[in-house]
Amino acid sequence: MVPAVERAVRLLDALALARRPASLASLARILPAPKSSLHGLLATLVELDLVRRDEAGEFALGPRALQWAGAYSLKSDVVGAFHQHADRTAELASETVMLAVLDGSDVLYLACRPGSRALAVNFRVGGRYPACCTSSGKAMLANLNEPAVRSLYAGNRQLPRPTRHSVASLAALERQLAEVRRRGYAIDDEEVAEGMQCFGAPVFAAGSATPVAAVAVSLIKAGTGAARRAQVIAAVRALAAGLSARLGGAAPVSTLSGQATARGGPTSKTARRAAPPAPGPSSSARALGI
């Protein structure tokens, strides 16, 4: 690799992960490079609109990154197919629908089709959340084998917990993932935001034993009855199956069978899908070329 390009990409990655504009000193603590080198890189990236500098002298991603994200969205089969299928799914017309990939122990959002209802969370393109708390993340984690899941959280004394409802331990997460495999879809029950419930299902591509993405729908929990939840779950599973078919993949039988129940959705007595080999921590993202 060209060292200067690698340093620039790592710098952009650090800015993408930062929750607020970062100072030169804070970036120097994160990245293995002297301040003088980082200063030169930042000055160049600012001139190219890849980074912006605010009045306090701190740095954040610039508008050119959005241009690239937009170009990727237009060219990506999975993103294009997502928008086509989501727009044609009448049952989800009023709901926020997301497309995400697994990137390490996070989910990375590739696309979002906003609904007409206001949500407590803004699922922006390029945003990240802990996979263990999200329905899209659990839908993908459930299709990894246990060693692969454990390797993602190796060294973590506890899982990230955005709310008091978030899954608290790896053992509890593994129990949730077993249930996801049984019923064919995943639930985030106020684990990302209080008062919000999400349902997710995995998306498969040709030649892939593990999901390359997942789709999810977010609802305001209060006032959403069992019948509406069952309708949304059926719709998000159908959306995932449609995207999988478009990509030449086939969802496991458990994600396509069963009838909706008043307690929250379809169930299945199909034998659980054989666990695939352990992938690398960013295999979903790499499978889509990102």
Same domain, 92 and 142: yes
What's the structural domain count of the chain?
Answer: 2
Domain ranges, residue 175: 68-287
The pLDDT value given to residue 71: 63
Same domain, 133 and 220: yes
Give residue-wise pLDDT tens across range 114-147.
887 766 566 778 888 999 999 999 999 999 989 9
Give residue-wise pLDDT tens across range 42-92.
999 999 999 999 999 999 998 888 777 766 655 567 888 898 889 889 999
Span 253-277, mean pLDDT? 37
Domain finish residue from 62, 84, 113: 62
Same domain, 121 and 176: yes
Same domain, 18 and 88: no
Do the beta carbons of residue 264 and residue 182 sit within 8 Å? Answer: no
Same domain, 83 and 151: yes
Query: What CATH number has the domain bearing residue 48?
Result: 1.10.10.10
Domain finish residue from 38, 62, 86: 62
Beta bridge partners of residue 186, listed in sequence order: 200
Same domain, 42 and 84: no
Q: How far apart are CA 108 and CA 131, in angstroms?
A: 9
Same domain, 110 and 235: yes
Query: What CATH number has the domain bearing residue 218?
Result: 3.30.450.40
Same domain, 217 and 155: yes
Residue 182: pLDDT band with limits 50, 70, 90 = very high
- Please indicate whether residue 126 or residue 276 has the higher confidence score (pLDDT): 126
Residue 97: pLDDT band with limits 50, 70, 90 = very high
Q: Is the pLDDT of residue 267 over 90?
A: no
Do the beta carbons of residue 65 and residue 12 sit within 8 Å? Answer: yes
Same domain, 25 and 161: no
Domain finish residue from 62, 78, 95: 62
CA distances to 78, 82, 83, 128 from 88, rounded to whole Å, are: 15, 10, 9, 26
Q: Is the pLDDT of residue 94 over 80?
A: yes
Same domain, 168 and 253: yes
Same domain, 128 and 113: yes
What pTM value is reported for the model?
0.66
Same domain, 39 and 129: no
